[in-house]
Structure 1
Amino acid sequence: MVYVGETSRSLKERAKEHEADVQLRRDKPIPEHFNGAGHGGQNMGISVLTQLRDSSRYYRLIKELDIIKKFETQSPKLLNTKIKKLSSKKYL
Structure 2
Amino acid sequence: MVYVGETSRSLKERAKEHEADVRLRREKPISEHFNGAGHRVQDMGVSVLTQIRDSSHYYRLIKELEFIKKFQAQSPNGLNTKNQLDVLLRETIL
- Give the TM-score taking structure 2 as reference length: 0.89
Structure 1 residue 81 displacement after superposition: 1.2
Structure 1 residue 37 displacement after superposition: 0.1
Contact 2:23-2:41 at 8 Å conserved across structures: yes
Q: Please give the residue correspondences for 1:36-55 in structure 2 after superposition, counting only pairs within 5 Å.
A: 36-55=36-55
Aligned length: 90
Higher RCO (Cα < 8 Å, 6 or more apart)? 2
Partner of 1:88: 86
Long gaps (5+) in structure 2: none
Long gaps (5+) in structure 1: none
Q: Which amino acid aligns with 1:12?
A: K
User: What percent of counterpart residues are identical?
Assistant: 74
> How large is the RMSD of aligned CA atoms in angstroms?
1.4
Structure 1 residue 78 displacement after superposition: 1.1
Work out the CA distance in 2 between the residues paired with 1:60 and 1:23: 28
Structure 1 residue 42 displacement after superposition: 0.6
Question: Which deviations, in whole Å up to 9, do the C-alpha atoms of 1:21-61 show, x marking residues without a partner?
Answer: 00000000000000000100010010000000111111000
- Give the TM-score taking structure 1 as reference length: 0.91
Structure 1 residue 88 displacement after superposition: 3.2
